[in-house]
Amino acid sequence: MAAMPVKTAPNLDQLDANALRALAAELMGKLEQQAQDIHFKDTHIRKLTHEIAMLRRYRFGKKSEQLGGEQGLLLEDAVDADIAAIEQELISLGGPQPEPKPASQPKRQALPPELPRVQIHHEPHATTCACGCQMLRIGEAITEKLDYIPGVFSVEQHIRGKWACRQCETLTQAPMPAQVIDKGIATSGLLAHVLVAKYADHLPLYRQAQIYARAGVKIPRSTLAEWVGVCGVRLQPLVDALRAAILNEPVVHADETPVQVLQPGSKKAHRAYLWAYAPGAFQDLKAVVYDFTEGRSGAHARAFLGDWRGELICDDYSGYKACFQQGMAEVGCMAHARRKFYELHQTGKSQIAEQALKSIGQLYEIEAQGAGLPPEERQRLRAQQARPLAEALHAWMTAHRSKVPDGTDIARALDYSLKRWVALTRYLDDGRLPIDNNHIENQIRPISLGRKNWLFAGSQRAGRRAAVVMSLIQSAKMNGHDPYAYLKDVLTRLPTHPNSRIEELLPHRWQPEVA
């Protein structure tokens, strides 16, 4: 392998005035950039320090100011996770070290002796001292970590032999394998189980603690919350890479759903939103990324999509309209148009609605025929069979709209389709586009099922954490992976995995590491 060239400093005596000015300008630019970086870092550290102080005041303050019952337990878990996440971020930024834990906080208990032990030995690669003498094994250090295979607790005993040289008194010992949570008691298997139980099986941490206690292991809720908080920070780079992969696709689905947010110090919840983005249903990439925001403004969608320009499949929510003024193409959802007529037919048995449903149903029958075809053949099928039906349906709707009084339910149903007709039928011109947005709605359904479990803390931190973990869990499912097996392997490899190769750990590229 060729040696990397070494950049040497220029000889100032050999530079003319123009070269010296250019060099001075370059150095000044670097100093200015460094100053900006330091200012940004210091500002971010101050912001995090203020945020964690507020959370600690709530968590360890007067009990009279806190919520009771199930809501209180859920919020305390979220706050504990937020505190652990902020501490992790401060450590990575080189900020102030975490404060000592309050005396009231539970101390780590010894692991139950009745649990099965699995011994993992770590020895130095070489037992010959640098002075040339053969070292002797003089003892060992045992570190115990709690592991969990669904349904069974066990203890990993990491046994690290101590080797010493009699002549120069050098002590050698193999290091512990790198962990996602440094000096933590949990293995990656237990961490993965806690995350999957919380974000896929909708089990709050206080219920998980009860289940573990019945299995003979008492794990404080605050400890479980710390694990969740740190894992959320460590998994964030994967979701950033997953977002970049989705925005490399030409077709993207988008949708949003409300979630309730409960702020520390407040006894009232307010509405926030979880947005979902996924490649088109016919794209090869199977993935979804959730984005938590405190509101439903279209600015959130524009911030997520950034410079992406492509075909955006969405409903008629006005928040997306500004995206189409920036170069994105709007693709409508025929399922939403059909739903308007379905609701009308269910309530009033409207004959117009019934006929509209039959015509739209014929369009879906053609889509079922072309589901497994390549895009080019699907587009030809649509041109031959679907387009004549769509044109006839449009003419029929236009004719009936002129006969229906404004303000009636049937007028509103017809207007929804007629006003969006270009977007609703754009799929006819491109075999890559699906007929509706049902693909992303299927990815939002798990969120709706677990909505009661997600009472987030006041900042976006807990909401973003939920979005991160759920993005990876749902994307793993979409690629046919067991989320537990995927997260366990990723959390094991993440501490030593190069950031430049983070894409290898994404669900659509992940391959289990062969022992």
Taking Cα atoms as reference points, which of 247, 257, 220, 198 lies closest to residue 462?
198
Q: What are phi and psi of 283, to 5 degrees?
A: -75, 155
What is the C-alpha to C-alpha distance for residues 390 and 407, in angstroms, rounded to an integer? Answer: 25
Q: 55 is written with which tokens?
A: 């959370």
- Tallying the residues shown for the chain, one arrives at 515
Taking Cα atoms as reference points, which of 335, 330, 340 lies closest to residue 363?
335
Q: In this structure, is residue 376 part of a structural domain?
A: yes
pLDDT at position 267 is 64
Cα 320 to Cα 153, 245, 250, 274, 300, distances in angstroms: 48, 21, 17, 15, 10
> Parallel, antiparallel, or unpaired: how do β-strands 251-262 and 311-313 relate?
parallel
Q: In this structure, is residue 42 part of a structural domain?
A: no
What is the C-alpha to C-alpha distance for residues 99 and 286, in angstroms, rounded to an integer? Answer: 42
What is the C-alpha to C-alpha distance for residues 459 and 51, in angstroms, rounded to an integer? Answer: 9
Do residues 355 and 392 lie in contact, with contact meaning Cβ atoms separated by under 8 Å?
no
Q: Label each residue of 221-250 as H, E or C.
A: HHHHHHHHHHHHHHHHHHHHHHHHHHCCCC
Q: In this structure, is residue 303 part of a structural domain?
A: yes
The domain in which residue 422 lies consists of 251-449
SS3 of residue 271 by DSSP: strand
Q: In this structure, is residue 46 part of a structural domain?
A: no
Do residues 431 and 379 lie in contact, with contact meaning Cβ atoms separated by under 8 Å?
yes
Q: In this structure, is residue 439 part of a structural domain?
A: yes
Q: What is the pLDDT along the chain (515 residues), one digit of tens a residue?
A: 344 444 556 666 666 777 777 777 888 888 877 777 777 777 778 777 777 777 777 676 655 455 555 666 667 777 787 888 888 878 777 766 666 655 555 566 788 888 888 888 888 888 888 887 888 888 888 888 888 877 788 899 999 999 999 888 889 999 988 999 888 899 999 999 999 999 999 888 899 999 999 888 999 999 999 999 999 999 999 999 999 999 999 999 999 999 888 776 666 778 889 999 999 999 999 999 999 998 899 999 999 999 999 999 999 888 898 899 888 999 999 999 999 999 888 877 778 889 999 999 999 999 999 999 999 999 999 999 999 999 999 999 999 999 888 888 889 999 999 999 999 999 999 999 999 999 999 999 888 777 666 566 556 788 889 999 999 999 999 999 999 999 999 999 999 999 999 999 999 999 987 76
Helix extents (H) in 125-259: 188-199, 205-214, 221-246
DSSP-assigned letter for residue 370: T
Q: What are phi and psi of 22, to 5 degrees?
A: -65, -40
Q: 414 is written with which tokens?
A: 């017809």
Q: Is the dihedral of CA 332, 336, 342, 347 positive or negative?
A: negative
Burial class of residue 34, CB neighbours in 10 A (0-12, 13-18, 19+):
exposed
Taking Cα atoms as reference points, which of 336, 281, 341, 335 lies closest to residue 311?
281
Token pair 């002075």 is found at: 131
pLDDT at position 71 is 62
Do residues 239 and 468 lie in contact, with contact meaning Cβ atoms separated by under 8 Å?
yes
Q: In this structure, is residue 159 part of a structural domain?
A: no
User: Any residues with CB less than 8 A from the CB of 116 and at least 6 apart, and which?
Assistant: 154, 155
Tally the domains of the chain.
1
Q: In this structure, is residue 415 part of a structural domain?
A: yes
What is the C-alpha to C-alpha distance for residues 255 and 114, in angstroms, rounded to an integer? Answer: 49
Q: In this structure, is residue 441 part of a structural domain?
A: yes
What is the C-alpha to C-alpha distance for residues 86 and 45, in angstroms, rounded to an integer? Answer: 10
Burial 331-360 (b: 16+ CB within 10 A, else e): bbbbbbbbebbbebbeeeebebbebbbebb
Q: 159 is written with which tokens?
A: 């046994």
Do residues 288 and 277 lie in contact, with contact meaning Cβ atoms separated by under 8 Å?
yes
